[in-house]
Amino acid sequence: MRIDVFTIFPDLVEHFCSGSLLGRARHHGALDLRVHDLRSATTDPRRSVDDVPYGGGAGMVLMPGPLFDAVELVEPPRPLFLLGPGGRRLDQEVVEELASTETSAPGGFSLLCGRYEGVDQRVADHLVDGELSIGDYVLAGGESAAVVVIEAVTRLLPGVLGNEASARDESFRSGLLEYPQYTRPGDFRGWEVPGILRQGDHGRIERWRRAMALRRTLEQRPDLVEARGGLTDEERRLLEAVEREVVEEPGRDGQGA
Ligand code: SAH
């Protein structure tokens, strides 16, 4: 998967994308990340990329010239997305769409980071293919948004997580949050791991996890449950049955496990 990023702060993006999962994915070749300096095609001694806004107002705006030049010099993989608060909101569905560009020829996509007050509208109108937002708040620049996109997409690429199942089961995959996870110790400061998880009955564990994913989503993100059209009768029955079992469970307090 190739991802090209255009920014006036290439070091910010490079630094974040050199360690941990992203660093490994680049090292092993799953991710071909290319970070380009938006100043690379400037010819004036100050290498300017910004100017005051037409019509007045605070701050500076990135000029179209250097941005078009930098992109045209590289001819990056498309779609090319401008990062900005007005774009399509990133969620796991969008992330999966972006990850699937891996299989299209030439494979990949590109990101353009704004700064200051933003970019000249003609960049949005005539250079990029779309706009992406990471949420309804305003950042100082698109670099942190770019690394959010890159990390979320890269962890879905084949071979990157090591354990393919961890990407398959997690939050949002079925319109639900993930079930709660526990690790050792079984008793931490008197807070016990649910007994069911320690009894080795994989069928029961599976049922419990599905029920907990439902309950957690109902409690924490009812909007997600609503978006998938509520719970099915089967899910409602499962939730009730598992909650009843857990109440009657001898290992509920850790004693039976
Ligand atoms: N004046 C603009 C905000 C500019 S913020 C406005 O009111 O809409 C500067 C840059 O940060 C933007 O050009 C964009 O690239 C980036 N940015 C800010 N918020 C963002 C968000 N929620 N998602 C993605 N990029 C964002």
Looking at residue 248, what is its pLDDT?
79
> Is residue 243 within a helix (H) or strand (E), and if so which, with residue range?
helix 233-248
For the chain, list the domains and their CATH numbers: 2-162 (3.40.1280.10), 169-248 (1.10.1270.20)
**Which DSSP string do the residues of 91-117 spell out, in sequence order?**
-HHHHHHHHHGGGSSS-EEEEE--BTT
Please report the atom of ligand 1 found closest to the CA of residue 132.
Answer: 24
Looking at residue 16, what is its pLDDT?
98
What are residue 134's phi and psi, to 5 degrees? -100, 5
For the chain, helix (H) and strand (E) counts, in that order, are 10, 9
Please report the atom of ligand 1 found closest to the CA of residue 119.
Answer: 13
What are residue 160's phi and psi, to 5 degrees? -80, -40
Looking at residue 164, what is its pLDDT?
66
Say if ligand 1 is within 6 A of residue 124 CB. Answer: no
Looking at residue 246, what is its pLDDT?
81
Q: What is the token pair recorded at 213?
A: 């994913």
Mean pLDDT of successive 10-residue stretches along the chain, which has 257 residues: 98 98 97 97 95 97 98 97 98 96 85 98 98 98 98 96 73 91 98 97 97 97 96 97 83 46
Looking at residue 103, what is its pLDDT?
79
Give Cα separations from 155 to 25, 60, 239, 248 (angstroms).
Answer: 9, 35, 31, 39
Task: Single out the residue of 7, 110, 4 nearest to residue 49, CA to CA.
Answer: 7
Looking at residue 80, what is its pLDDT?
98
Q: What is the token pair recorded at 9?
A: 């702060």
Neighbours of 185 (CB within 10 A): 10
Q: What is the token pair recorded at 144?
A: 């942190």
Rounded to the nearest whole angstrom, what is the distance from the C-alpha of residue 48 to the centroid of ligand 1?
20
Question: Structure pTM?
Answer: 0.93
- d(Cα 77, Cα 157) in Å, to the nearest integer? 17
Looking at residue 256, what is its pLDDT?
41
Task: Single out the residue of 221, 103, 90 nearest to residue 152, CA to CA.
Answer: 90
